[in-house]
Structure 1
C-alpha cells in the first residue's frame, strides 16, 4: 500500500462546514474525487489533486529552501477529524493558499532541486525508500510539483482553501 499526498479545494463556506463537521468533509471530498473532480477539463484546474508518492521528497525540498508555507502537510488541523488514511486531514485557509501560490509562482522546479545531491537525499531517509535512486526521483517530484503550482494558483485566484491529507 502506498502513501499518496492528496489535496482538495474548498470554498470558504465549505471549509467552515468541514471544520464544524469533519465527517461531512470526508464524505463531501470523497464525492468530489468520485465525481472526477481530480480531472482537468476545458483548461480549468481540478478541485482535487494527488501528488502520488512525491509528497515526502517535495516536503524535504521545500523545507530545504525554507518555503514559507507547509503545502505538503497543511498548517491547521481539522478539529476532531478521523484518520483519512495516514492521519487526520489538515488545511490551509485561503490567505495561506494565496501566500503559497505567490511563493510557488516565484519558484521554478529547476530552482527547487538545484544543488541537491544523492548523499543529502539518502540522509533525509525519505518515503518511499529511494536509497541510491534519489536523483532519478527528482524528475518524478518536479513533474508533480509542476502540476501543483497551477493547482495552488487556481485555488488562490478563486479564494479557496485547501484540505491536505495522506491516503
Structure 2
C-alpha cells in the first residue's frame, strides 16, 4: 500500500466536532468514503506522490507543507483537519502556480539521493515527472473545488 495522503471536504461543524471527539472523526471518515455522501463532496489528494510534490513545492513560493499544515485530530498522526480558510489560501496559491514552475525543480538524481518517497525517480525519470504532474493537477482540482464549496478538509495520512 505505501505511505499516502488523501483529502476529503469537511464542513466547519464536522471539523469542530472532530477536534472535540477524535474517535467520532475516525469513524466518520470511514463512513464518508463508504457511505452515500461520497463522492458528493470534493475529495482527492496526492496519494503516494505527496513527498515528490512537496519536494517540488518547496522550490516555489507556495506555502504548503503536507506534514505540518492542518491541525492534528488523531494522536497517531493519521488524521488532520484543515479549515476552510486554509483550503482557500492554498487553493489561491496553487491556482496561481502553473505546473511548469514546479517541474522546473524536478531533479531525479537529487530526489533519489535524498530518498524522497517513494524513491522511484531513477527508474523512469520522465514517467515519474508525468505522474507528479497528474497528481498536481488532482491536488489543484481538489483545493479549488473545496474552496469554491466553502469546505475545509480532513486529511488522512496512512503509513
TM exceeding 0.5: yes
8 Å CA contact 1:12, 1:159 repeated in 2: no
Residue 92 (1) aligns with residue 82 (2) = yes
Counterpart for residue 65 of structure 1: 60
Query: What's the secondary structure of 2:2's corresponding residue?
Result: coil
Q: Give the superposition deviation at 1:129.
A: 2.1
- The Cα shift of 1:115 comes to 4.3
1:50-96 Cα deviation digits (max 9, x unpaired): 432111101111112142132x23513335x143xxx3322321111
**Root-mean-square deviation over aligned CA pairs:** 2.1
Name the TM-score, length of structure 2 as normaliser.
0.86
Q: Distance in 2 between matches of 1:57 and 1:47?
A: 23
- CA distance change for structure 1 residues 101 and 131 in 2, over 3 Å: closer, same or farther? closer
Q: Is the Cα–Cα contact under 8 Å of residues 121 and 128 in structure 2 kept in the other structure?
A: no
Map 1:31-110 to 2 at 5 A.
Answer: 31-35=31-35, 39=39, 46-70=41-65, 72-73=66-67, 75-79=69-73, 81-83=74-76, 87-110=77-100
How many residues align structurally? Answer: 157
Most deviating of 30-39 and 1-10? 30-39
Gaps spanning 5+ residues in structure 1: where? Answer: none
Report what 1:153 is aligned to. Answer: 144
CA distance in structure 1 between the partners assigned to 2:38 and 2:57 by the alignment: 24
* Distance in 1, Cα, partners of 2:71 & 2:155: 10
Q: Which residue of structure 1 lines up, in the alignment, with residue 132 of structure 2?
A: 141
